[in-house]
Amino acid sequence: MLEINNLKSRIGDTEILRGLSLSVNAGEVHAIMGPNGSGKSTLAQVIAGHDDYVVTGGEVTFMGKNLLDLEPEERAREGIFLGFQYPVEIPGVNNAYLLKAAVNAKRKHQGLGEVDAFEFLKVAREKMALLGMDPKFLNRGVNEGFSGGEKKRNEILQMAMLEPSLAILDETDSGLDIDALKAVAEGVNTLRAPDRAIVLVTHYQRLLDYIEPDFVHVLSEGQIIRSGDKSLALELEEKGYDWVREAANA
């Protein structure tokens, strides 16, 4: 589904991704771990198309298409979803309005008509109940005055409504207490599907207790230096990132 080959990217004059390769297939859950500054968030932003990050080399294809040719909105409509580490507060834009505009943008791209307003609200409320969100959040400004946990749930709500083929969740666990973490993890788990891939970007192993990955990759200085199954995450937790780095350099 997603093929990344020797990807290089910089922000300003700083090179962050230095030849990163990764292959993600439908139905898989990948965890990308690594110390601060290793390039985890950059990878997520580059895949979503943030133009602060300049791609200086390599290829990224998504379902056979050259992803780097597409605008951020085109990538989203093709089925890529980025769950933000810091979801943006947008006062004056109604949460339900954004959800509906996003759903309709994708439907239009697929050649479908606009979503039925009644049906849309019904589905949104169901998904919110699943995530333990109060329906009143639909009528608030996007993330406006939301707590950290509410913002992350709202990201998962958007993901649930948009039903992406590839979801990249950037530090979805950061700033969450254990109850919020469980609710978010449960939301993500219900979205696991044979035709959907999920990439979890995380600093800590904690999230992986609740969302079990098929593959774990360690990112360091802009490259994946080690890949393994979920046991790698546990090993990391125990031995720290230096251990992998030393092993990689040896």
Partner 1 sequence: MKQSALSIDDLREAVMRLPDDSLTATREAALASLDEQGFPSIRDEDWKYTDLSSAIDVSNRWLAQGAKTESTDALRKSIKAITASIDAHWLIVANGIVDLTCFGEPADIEVEKFSDSATPFVMDRPLADLNAALLHDGLRVQVHGATEKPLGVLLIDETSGGAGVTQANVDIEVAPGCDAEIIEYQVSSGSEDHYANSVIALQIDQAAHVSYVRIQNRRAGHIQTARLSVALSADARLNMASYDLGGGLVRNDVDIDINEAGADATFNGLFLAGDGQHIDNHTRVEHRVGPASSSQEYRGILNGRCRCVWNGKAIVHKGADGTDANQANHNLLLSDHAEIDAKPELEIYADDVKCSHGTTVGQLDETALFYLRSRGINKRQATQILTHAFAADLVARAPVATAKDAITALVEKRLGELIKEEDL
**DSSP letter at 196?**
-
Least Cβ distance, residue 48 to partner 1 (angstroms)? 5
Residue 103 CB, nearest distance to partner 1 (Å)?
A: 8
Closest CA to 62 of 54, 51, 73, 70: 70
CB of 211 to partner 1, least distance (A): 21
**Cβ closer to partner 1: 153 or 245?**
153
Residue 105 CB, shortest distance to partner 1, in Å, is: 4
Q: Cβ closer to partner 1: 98 or 234?
A: 98
In the bound complex, what is the minimum distance in angstroms from residue 110's beta carbon to partner 1?
A: 11
Closest CA to 84 of 142, 9, 165: 142
| Of residues 108 and 239, the one with the C-beta less far from partner 1 | 108
Nearer to partner 1, 43 or 216 (CB): 43
Contact in structure between 177 and 89 (CB atoms under 8 Å):
no
Binding footprint of partner 1 on the chain (CB under 8 A): 48-51, 71-73, 75-77, 81-82, 84, 87-88, 90-93, 97-98, 101-102, 105-106, 109, 141, 158, 162
Cβ distance to partner 1 smaller for residue 97 or 190: 97
Concatenate the DSSP letters of all residues of 10-61 into one string.
Answer: EETTEEEEEEEEEEE-TT-EEEEE--TTSSHHHHHHHHHT-TTEEEEEEEEE
> Which residue type does 4 have?
I
